[in-house]
Amino acid sequence: MNRVTILLLTALAPIAWGTTYLVTTELLPLGHPLFAGLLRSLPAGLLAIAVSRRLPRGTWWWKAFALGGLNIGAFFPLLFLAAERLPGGVAAAVAGAQPLIVLVLGSLVLQERIRPATAAAAVAGAGGVALVVLGPAASLDLWGILAALGGVTATGVGMILTKRWGRPSGVGPIAYAGWQLAAGGLLLLPVTLLVEGVPATIDGGAALGYLWLGTAGGIVAYTLWFRGIQQLPVIAPGLLALLSPIVATILGALIAGEAFTAVQVIGFTIALGALVSGQIFARRGRMTSPAAEPTAAPALAAPR
């Protein structure tokens, strides 16, 4: 599979995640974002494990829970807090800083060289997203900003560790994604029951929304995402993450009737240009790193 194909398949993940806001506001019961996160992760993770018939072995038990905790278990509660205390545009603008976080962490943990052109693309991408999603009435809240930064940092660390630890030999991408989804869902379960509980009613539209989040936004998206992280330079999927708030804004304009201003068009152009140029610059670096290979113990090895 060539690099362009891998990039396009990996890009489907943040595109699918960009539909989450519209699905949540139009189809799901109000006031239950954690429950949505739980249904997005735990059933899909258990189904993937059942289909693949692969369980973690040895050190991969704690690694699966560490990755699932960062990518899902920590991310959703922090996203919930940020959504409560910040306008959606501000939260999405903070999420646009993720490529910068990934760039720095990749340099520190994976020893990937920071190229000035790639760093400039990450900065431009964050600025472009800010122009797309921020409105004139945007307000700031310290705890909301910290929660949003915590969420994107958690997923950024999860991305770096996914790259560093690779995938056990003999374990496919579906099983690998299933481990993390199930682990993150199990961590979310007690938080969801304590904070929100189960919605009083779940109608047909809500059931359809939960199904979409669990399939396209869950097992399919995370399988493509984790595989892309392992096969691409770490900044490449980091920049692709910019697609999520952009898609959310476009869907809001096309389906929900939200206004799309000239400033947003400029921001969209900047973000898209940064995304494309960043992939070109990243291509000049290493296609893969040693950490991206499945160097961990085989899945069927004796537990350590």
pLDDT < 50: residue spans in the chain:
286-304
Whole-number pLDDT of residue 19? 85
Give the chain's end-to-end CA distance (angstroms, integer): 34
Per the structure, the count of domains in the chain is 1
Residue 304 lies in a domain: no
Prediction pTM value:
0.79
Q: 65: phi > 0 → left, psi -120 to 50 → alpha, else beta; which? A: alpha
Q: Quick one: residue 299, left, alpha or beta (phi over 0 = left, psi -120 to 50 = alpha)?
A: alpha
**116: its two tokens:** 């000035």
Question: Distance (Å, rounded) from C-alpha 94 to C-alpha 82?
Answer: 10
- Condensed to tens digits (0 to 9), the pLDDT of residues 202-238 reads 999 999 999 999 999 999 999 999 999 888 887 777 7
What pLDDT score was predicted for residue 295? Answer: 40
- Say if 293 falls within a structural domain: no
pLDDT value at residue 304:
34
User: Could you give the 3-state DSSP secondary structure of residue 19?
Assistant: coil
On whether residue 300 sits in a domain, the answer given is: no
242 to each of 129, 150, 300, how far by Cα in Å? Answer: 7, 17, 37
Q: How many angstroms separate the CA atoms of 92 and 134, rounded?
A: 8
Place of tokens 């899945």: 299
Contacts of 30 by beta carbon, 8 Å cutoff, 6+ apart:
none
Q: How far is it, in rounded angstroms, from Cα 276 to Cα 125?
A: 10
Decide if 248 is inside a domain: yes
Residue 17 lies in a domain: yes
The DSSP letter of residue 219 is I
pLDDT at position 298 is: 34
Whether 234 contacts 108, CB under 8 Å: no
Residue 297 belongs to some domain of the structure: no
Q: Is residue 290 a part of any domain in this protein?
A: no
Residue 303 lies in a domain: no
Q: How many CB atoms lie within 10 A of CB 134?
A: 18
- d(C-alpha 246, C-alpha 18), whole Å: 7
Q: Which domain holds residue 47?
A: 3-285
Enumerate residues 6+ apart whose C-beta is below 8 A from 130.
Answer: 93, 96, 267
Length of the chain: 304
